[in-house]
Structure 1
Amino acid sequence: MASQMTFASRYRSREEIETLLGSIFKWALILMFAIVTIFPFYWMVNISLRTEQDVLTNPTRLFPRPEDIQTSLHPVWCWLRYGTDDLEVNPDLPEDCVDVFNQSAFTIVLVEQGFPPFIGNSLLVSLVTVSLTLLLTIPGAYAITRLRFPGRNLFSWAILAIYMFPAIVLAIPLFAFFTKTGLRGTLHGLIIVYLSQTIPVALYMLRSYFLTLPPDLEEAALIDGCTHLSAIWRVTIPLSLPAIASVALYTFMIAWNEFLYAFLFLVVNPESWTLPLGLERLNDQEVPVTALMAGSLIVSVPIIVLFFFFERFLTRGLTAGAVKG
């Protein structure tokens, strides 16, 4: 009896040790992953909040000093409030807002490098691309999953065929076509290119999600007198909001961050540049590295904010509808 108890206690001890080791290994992996993903972003924030002189003299400083943060953020406040640091332009400028824009990496980017038009162009292109992608792919995915027509199965798998080709292969004929048609250097031409990239994968994502929805709900709506479009609006879209949010976020990220096509089609017209092109211009020896990090932060923050917003939205369960027996 005593030997059985000893064996059981040893077995429990071994199980506890294995559980402890597994827990340590798990948290070690989580910590390593967090460091690899979070530290580069933190370092970008750290560099952007410090002065160029401090970065050059103390390149490994892990935390910005309070005076450096004040020096970096105060010119931004002056820019937002007064729009200038030139006393001749605005005689009512307070003394602490005179000739301060060159002291902050953020105002160097926003004022001297002219980033606000780039932000506006990127926002316009991204929002229009998301809107048109959803407008075209929601009924398209519905048709593929619910309607019967010849070649439906072939079409449902062929929508991703465009991704068999590298982007640079498609860029060459698109560049020649857009040059001849006069669309090169225009934002609407870039939107057309982005739609050709986002629509196939959005169709595939929504199609996969629509297949998980019970068709009984839509059939009941059709029996009650709804058309296919009203059934999509009243039944399919409310149940598919998490998938639609995922597609919208994915499409926005593509349009916001894409560089290759923006460079090919917009480089001839600086007034139409988007944020990736403006950020590339900061990669110059004459521009402080603090300004490059500030520009990178301006590009990254909207995506991070949108991700956290949609992540909270996506955690909601699909409990809005059910088939009543």
Structure 2
Amino acid sequence: MSREHLETNIIRILRILGIIFFIIIVAFPFYWMIVSSFKSLEELLMRPANLWLDIRKINFNAYYEVLFEHGFSRYIANSTYVSIITVALSVTLATVGGYAVTRLRFRGQAFMSYSILIIYMFPAIVLVIPLYVVFSHMALRDSIHVLILVYLAQTLPVALYMLRSYFQTLPVEIEYAGLIDGCSRMGVIWRIIIPLSAPALASVALYTFMIAWNEFLFAFMFLDTPEKFTLSRGVVQLAGSVHLSKQLVMAASVMVTVPILVLFLFFERYLVRGLTSGAMKG
């Protein structure tokens, strides 16, 4: 065996071992979370180091308690409402704004085009205090709709940037043909741009939904009434309760995590296609 062949085999083995190691590091917390959520309190206390789940002893009591005794059915409804409204507003505004920045000519277009992501120069922790003070003075702080507004401001710049890059790859001749056939600008967007941009729109929608569903900092600072809590805020309140069973926190964490994982796995191809389609231009 030549030295080059030996080095190639060693690198291949090390690469496989590294991938397996990182998969275990990433997957183990999710595995332990799911397993613990199906165990009874007695089993967790008597055998805390047991990493396996006996199928014959699967217990759904933790999910029932979390949903109906700790108000998580309401938190799920709140998170779903906030996420869907944020996605609808962000995708709509980003589509119109991205098209305007890409195709229309107006004063300040170049500055607006290159300053879309300027808000991301400021960490969320820097913005949360001024927003907290402003919304408190306006008596708007404890409101789900204010949370939607904050999430929209948080996700819209990236959505605009992604769609602008994608729109730049679309041939402008198709739009000219639509205008010649009598379409207005909005007609061109609705009948031509949106159908051609389905992968990019799907990736923007998934990104926005993930941000709105998982976000904690603003929900923690702005929401005080338990009936208005989102899932992430509810999990923290549940984890801070006195005399709380571990499996309840694990069941609540599963409820937060699984919907996002399912959506990501289902729309992964659209996400990758949408992120890479505008990579050559823009």
Q: Same fold by TM-score, threshold 0.5 exceeded? A: yes
**1:257-284 superposed Cα distances (whole Å, 9 cap, x missing partner):** 11111111112x2211111111001213
Q: CA deviation at 1:65?
A: 1.3
Matching residue within 201, 220, 233 for 1:277: 233
Q: What is the match of residue 39 of structure 1?
A: 28
Q: What is the match of residue 94 of structure 2?
A: 137
Return the alpha-carbon distance in structure 1 between the equivalents of residues 143 and 13 of structure 2.
Answer: 54
Identity within the alignment, %: 52
AA of the residue aligned to 2:25: V
**1:134-160 superposed Cα distances (whole Å, 9 cap, x missing partner):** 111101000101111111111112221
1:195 pairs with 2:191: no
Matching residue within 222, 237, 255 for 2:212: 255
Q: How many residue pairs are counted as aligned between the two chains?
A: 273
Q: What is the match of residue 82 of structure 1?
A: none
**1:89-132 superposed Cα distances (whole Å, 9 cap, x missing partner):** xxxxxxxxxxxxxxx21122112211100000000000000000
Q: CA deviation at 1:21?
A: 2.5
**1:12-35 superposed Cα distances (whole Å, 9 cap, x missing partner):** x44443332232222222212211
Q: What is the match of residue 290 of structure 1?
A: 247
Q: Relative to 1, partners in 2 of residues 1:33 and 1:219: Cα closer, same or farther, differing over 3 Å?
A: farther
Matching residue within 226, 232, 235 for 2:192: 235
Q: What is the match of residue 264 of structure 2?
A: 307
Q: Secondary structure at the match of 2:105?
A: coil
Q: CA deviation at 1:39?
A: 1.4
Q: Secondary structure at the match of 2:39?
A: coil
Q: CA deviation at 1:225?
A: 1.9
1:57 pairs with 2:46: yes
Return the alpha-carbon distance in structure 2 between the equivalents of residues 28 and 181 of structure 1.
Answer: 56
Q: What is the match of residue 28 of structure 1?
A: 17
Stretches of structure 2 lacking an aligned partner (at least 5 in a row): 275-282
Q: Relative to 1, partners in 2 of residues 1:314 and 1:214: Cα closer, same or farther, differing over 3 Å?
A: same
Q: CA deviation at 1:214?
A: 2.0
Return the alpha-carbon distance in structure 2 between the equivalents of residues 211 and 222 of structure 1.
Answer: 18
**1:53-106 superposed Cα distances (whole Å, 9 cap, x missing partner):** 21122112121112321xx13xxxxxxxxxxxxxxxxxxxxxxxxxxxxxx211
The structure with the largest alpha-carbon Rg is 1
Q: What is the match of residue 95 of structure 1?
A: none
Return the alpha-carbon distance in structure 1 between the equivalents of residues 122 and 76 of structure 2.
Answer: 30
Stretches of structure 1 lacking an aligned partner (at least 5 in a row): 1-9, 74-103, 318-325
Q: CA deviation at 1:168?
A: 2.1
Q: Relative to 1, partners in 2 of residues 1:315 and 1:154: Cα closer, same or farther, differing over 3 Å?
A: closer
Q: CA deviation at 1:51?
A: 1.1
1:67 pairs with 2:60: no
Q: Output the aligned Cα RMSD.
A: 1.7
AA of the residue aligned to 1:144: V
AA of the residue aligned to 1:36: I
Alignment of 1:74-85 (within 5 A): none
Length-normalised TM-score, structure 2: 0.91
Q: CA deviation at 1:177?
A: 1.9
